[in-house]
Structure 1
Amino acid sequence: MASATPKEIVRELPPLIRVYSDGTVERLLGSPQVPPSLQDPQTLVSSKDIVISENPSISARLYLPKLNSHTAEKIPILVYFHGGAFCLESAFSFLHHRYINIVASEAKVVVVSVEYRLAPENPLPAAYEDSWEALKWVTSHSNNTNVEPWLINHGDFSRFYIGGDTAGANIAHNAALRVGIESGGLLGGVKITGVVLAFPLFWSSEPVLSEPVEGFEESSAMQVWRFVYPDAPHGIDNPLINPLGGGAPSLASLGCSKMLIFVAGKDDLRERGVWYCDAVMESGWEGDVELVEVEGEEHCFQIYHPQTPNSKTFITRVASFLV
């Protein structure tokens, strides 16, 4: 009897993910998926999963904070895109489920956490297109052309926000830019009130600000982009990852009225967040942008350790923005 051919690694992104010769994908990092809950015991937030599209497969987890049952209370809406280098994590993962429960409770907002398709099984730009379709699905409820009761009964489309962390923040930026550029914008004439970008994933072929020159070509952001979008036009200077690259739309076109950007002192993406914020302010964009730097903290600390003092301050700041 012939022995089975051993699987070989044909592509990998250490220490995150491996692709084998038989097509299987092994994710080495990431938190397990957890079910939604009728009422979270810590936050009293209810959550449920919905299907946005069967083909392609796009879904989301909706979160509704505890409201006064005697009133038809309308509250802001946040469409959230999770991080994970475009290839890890999920809207249904433990870490993001725990974090969004807290945000929904503290900010008193309806949250739509989007489950977009991941690379490498679905290379970019799949995640961008899925997220755009999800955004249109949410705003279709503004004129009752769709049927999700939490959005129709409790969502205030005059207070409509989008946001995300790392790769998800990159998706949120590109969505806001697309809203500003495309004629007609979002369904129902919905306007994006504000965008929250936590440790946004941007990069380019040249270092910016005080990024080190040595080892730049081997930077993790560079490796991630090559893995998740191997045939990207213009490579790492594609406008999706380099908002100031050749041919990139002007940041003055951002389709929102305010923006909140977070960077962390110990994060490799710190300089990029500062660089992006400076570029937005210098672009001629007419909105309000604020940069918040959290000294001494690592990348996405608020998701990994949401109960620390800095994380609580972070979430309070987000809540005060989502009004």
Structure 2
Amino acid sequence: MASATKEVLIDLSPVIKQYTDGTVERLFGSPHVPPSREDPITGVSSKDITISSAVSARLYLPKLTHPSQKLPILVYYHGGGFCLESAFSFLDHRYINHLSSAAGALVISVEYRLAPEHPLPAAYEDSWDALKWVCSHVHDQNISETNFEKDEWITEHGDFNRLFIGGDSAGGNIAHNIAMRAGSESLPGNVKILGAILSHPYFWGSNPIGNEPKENIEQSLLYRIRLFVHPSATGGIDNPLINPIVDGAPSLSGLGCSKLLICLGEKDELTGRALVYAENVKKNGWKGEVEEVVVEGEGHCFHVFDIETEKAKDLIKKMASFISQ
């Protein structure tokens, strides 16, 4: 009720509002839930860890077939338009439990800082720092850069020859940009990313593609959200971080992974641009393997919101196969 008496500075309903006094009201999202020693549905165990003063994460360990089992590693970035949701939220916790179980993967779900309190590129930097922290476990000594000790799940069960990154929506955008950075910067121990999952990635631009709005483009919610979370972006909505296919963007041949899975929903506004992105990856001389999956009749991140549908289960199986093969 108190927010009704305050003056609104930016209204991005039904997503978020910012008031002139600097306070922020998030209008969409699911509540935070604690980690579980053993999830009753999947059997996956989870715990929360601190990576740095700015970054934390929730780790997921599926049931092991033997105590010394090595597992593929998935560093995952949640969605929410860079301004909503959390690695600790109900929707993400439920989803990652299922994905970790299906893939038999050790998952590190990253809690990066959100805009507008922490505008982009904060989320990109946090996500890169989290990946570096994970990769630093290949060294024998503790991790001096962060002053935080190693995690025993990663040390004992992580297989760094099978390192994956992934994310949905904003997290899919982050995964792309992390893969691009990994193509030009070395990770600790010279660890390489085997594959990346871009699920309904949040790419946008000033020239409409596919189902994107053709009129009043600057008034569309996805356009306005991006400028809200990254007000300092050179080129605005056509900054390569959000529009990787814009003229002058870094070549997609620089993706620092060996295979790429792009998961989309037919009815999602973001699908058309993601498909053009996939074609550009193939045409730009990248040496890896690209696969696109478009789920008929479904919208944005449907598999996170309603995980019990057959189409959601099938998509999670597809992601799991991509990781486990």
TM-score class, shorter-chain normalisation, is over 0.9
1:117 aligned partner: 113
Gaps of 5+ in 1: none
> Does 2:320 align with 1:319?
yes
2:184 aligned partner: 181
- Within a 5 Å distance, the mapping from 1:269-288 to structure 2 comes to 269-288=270-289
SS where residue 227 of structure 2 aligns? helix
**Relative to 1, partners in 2 of residues 1:208 and 1:129: Cα closer, same or farther, differing over 3 Å?**
same
Bigger drift between 268-277 and 104-113 goes to 268-277
2:212 and 2:23 mapped to 1: Cα distance? 36
Number of residue-to-residue matches in the alignment = 314
SS where residue 290 of structure 1 aligns? strand
- Within a 5 Å distance, the mapping from 1:56-95 to structure 2 comes to 57-68=54-65, 70-95=66-91
2:279 and 2:300 mapped to 1: Cα distance? 20
Amino acid at match of 1:103: L
Q: Is the 8 A contact 1:262 1:273 kept in 2?
A: no
Q: Is the 8 A contact 2:164 2:196 kept in 1?
A: yes
2:223 and 2:28 mapped to 1: Cα distance? 19
1:211 and 1:35 mapped to 2: Cα distance? 37
Report sequence identity in percent.
58
Amino acid at match of 1:249: P
1:286 and 1:167 mapped to 2: Cα distance? 25
The structural deviation recorded for 1:10 is: 1.1
The structural deviation recorded for 1:211 is: 4.1
- Within a 5 Å distance, the mapping from 1:31-50 to structure 2 comes to 31-50=30-49
Amino acid at match of 1:37: S
Find 2:167's aligned residue among 164, 168, 178: 164
Amino acid at match of 1:169: G
The structural deviation recorded for 1:224 is: 1.1
1:155 and 1:290 mapped to 2: Cα distance? 25
SS where residue 37 of structure 1 aligns? coil
1:214 and 1:246 mapped to 2: Cα distance? 22
2:293 and 2:258 mapped to 1: Cα distance? 18
Amino acid at match of 2:36: S
The structural deviation recorded for 1:219 is: 2.4
Q: TM-score, normalised by structure 1?
A: 0.94
1:269 and 1:207 mapped to 2: Cα distance? 10
2:227 and 2:35 mapped to 1: Cα distance? 34
SS where residue 257 of structure 1 aligns? strand
2:135 aligned partner: 139
2:104 aligned partner: 108
1:314 and 1:97 mapped to 2: Cα distance? 17
Bigger drift between 199-208 and 142-151 goes to 142-151
The structural deviation recorded for 1:77 is: 0.2
Amino acid at match of 2:106: V
SS where residue 23 of structure 1 aligns? coil
SS where residue 244 of structure 1 aligns? coil
- Within a 5 Å distance, the mapping from 1:245-284 to structure 2 comes to 245-284=246-285
1:100 and 1:44 mapped to 2: Cα distance? 12
Q: How far does the alpha carbon of each residue in 1:23-58 deviate from its partner, in whole angstroms, 9 at most, with x for none?
A: 21110000000000111111110000000111xx11
Q: How far does the alpha carbon of each residue in 1:37-90 deviate from its partner, in whole angstroms, 9 at most, with x for none?
A: 111111110000000111xx110000000112x440001000000000000000
Could you list the runs of 4 or more consecutive aligned residues of structure 1 that deviate by over 6 angstroms after TM superposition? none
1:21 and 1:212 mapped to 2: Cα distance? 30
1:211 and 1:53 mapped to 2: Cα distance? 38
The structural deviation recorded for 1:306 is: 0.7
Q: Is the 8 A contact 1:179 1:186 kept in 2?
A: yes
1:138 and 1:115 mapped to 2: Cα distance? 14
2:235 aligned partner: 234
Amino acid at match of 1:98: R
2:31 and 2:138 mapped to 1: Cα distance? 33
2:245 and 2:299 mapped to 1: Cα distance? 26
Bigger drift between 71-80 and 214-223 goes to 214-223
1:85 and 1:71 mapped to 2: Cα distance? 39
2:94 aligned partner: 98
The structural deviation recorded for 1:246 is: 4.1
Q: Is the 8 A contact 1:209 1:275 kept in 2?
A: no
Amino acid at match of 1:125: P
